[in-house]
């Protein structure tokens, strides 16, 4: 199943890259909107409805650092809505590889929000699409001003990045109380941090002056006991040292496990106790 997911994501990412490059070629002739072609390819022509009633995408209007742009995806289905979230697909329309990632909560998990950091290469729209259990696709968009994030130099030199690659940190946070002041016993908020250069393939080695080959986390899974919390199918638009903060409802009091695989098939694993916060 994992191999199928990876190959599917890679194929979509490469197709999206080709579409984006084609759009970039035509920018000088009137800056066509790449989103219609991207949406048609990624979602196979399925209609996208307005998701602003329950879906939100938060990002800065202007990025302070285009290589490390914080974004938060939030889902708040109305009370009594029996549908569940199947997947979130995040797209940065004018990035060289627009398909940032596909994020899938486990079957027993209700995802409230997901935060991460991304690279943004130029002024562009961002799109977040939620797939619900009834098969419907719902989208929201926002605009961001940024430049050069995909080719920005690495924060660490190559040797340091290699020596720490795969190291993990894990944090738990106290659940936020509701408006009535109550804390739901199944509310959890955790953060996974993974040391990895997540090279885009567009960064230049400052010594050799050669481009650094792409190397990125393409599959990450977070488990709590036997319950799958989240699957991340990622690409080069996720920033160096991938970082995911997840707020969710469900799962158990068991400990946590992280499994990750990068594009060179290096596997990384980590286990972390549940500290009860």
Q: Tell me: the pLDDT tens digits for 172-189? A: 998 666 555 666 668 899
Phi then psi for 76, rounded to 5 degrees?
-140, 80
Domain hosting 121: range is 2-272
**Lowest-pLDDT range of 64-78, 109-123, 203-217:** 203-217
Q: Does a structural domain hold residue 253?
A: yes
* Arithmetic mean of pLDDT over the chain: 88
Q: Does a structural domain hold residue 141?
A: yes
Could you tell me the pTM of the whole model?
A: 0.87
User: Going by DSSP bridges, is the β-strand pair 217-224/227-234 parallel, antiparallel, or unpaired?
Assistant: antiparallel
pLDDT at 186: 82
SS3 track for 198-246:
CECCCCECCCCCCECCCECEEEEEEEECCEEEEEEEECCCECCCCEEEE
Give the chain's domain count. Answer: 1
Block residue for tokens 């009860």: 276
Above pLDDT 90, what percent of the chain?
Answer: 74
Q: Does a structural domain hold residue 277?
A: no
Q: Does a structural domain hold residue 207?
A: yes
Count CB-CB contacts under 10 A for residue 265: 8
183 by Cβ neighbours in 10 Å (0-12 / 13-18 / 19+) ranks as: exposed
CATH of the domain at 139: 2.60.40.2470
Per residue in 14-36, pLDDT tens? 444 444 444 433 333 467 999 99
Cα-Cα-Cα-Cα dihedral sign, residues 174, 230, 250, 57: positive
């Amino acid at each position: 199943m994992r191999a199928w997911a990876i190959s599917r994501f890679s194929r979509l990412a490469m197709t999206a890259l080709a579409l984006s490059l084609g759009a970039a070629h035509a920018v000088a002739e009137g800056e066509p909107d790449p989103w219609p072609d991207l949406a048609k390819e990624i979602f196979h022509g399925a209609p996208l409805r307005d998701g602003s009633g329950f879906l939100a995408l938060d990002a800065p209007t202007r990025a302070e650092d285009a290589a490390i742009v914080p974004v938060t995806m939030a889902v708040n289905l109305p009370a009594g809505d029996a549908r569940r979230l199947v997947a979130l697909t995040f797209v940065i329309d004018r990035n060289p590889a627009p398909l940032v990632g596909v994020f899938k909560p486990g079957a027993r998990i209700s995802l409230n929000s997901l935060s991460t950091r991304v690279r943004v290469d130029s002024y562009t729209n961002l799109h977040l699409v939620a797939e619900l259990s009834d098969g419907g696709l719902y989208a929201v968009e926002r605009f961001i001003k940024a430049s050069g994030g995909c080719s920005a130099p690495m924060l660490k030199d190559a040797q340091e990045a290699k020596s720490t690659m795969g190291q993990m940190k894990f944090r738990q946070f106290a659940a936020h109380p509701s408006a009535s002041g109550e804390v739901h016993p199944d509310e959890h908020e955790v953060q996974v941090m993974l040391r990895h250069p997540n090279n885009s393939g567009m960064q230049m080695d400052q010594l050799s002056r050669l481009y650094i080959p792409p190397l990125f986390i393409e599959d990450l899974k977070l488990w709590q006991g036997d319950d799958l919390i989240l699957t991340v199918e990622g690409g080069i638009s996720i920033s160096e040292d991938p970082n995911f903060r997840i707020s969710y409802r469900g799962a158990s009091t068991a400990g946590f496990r992280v499994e990750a695989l990068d594009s060179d098939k290096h596997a990384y694993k980590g286990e972390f106790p549940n500290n009860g916060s």
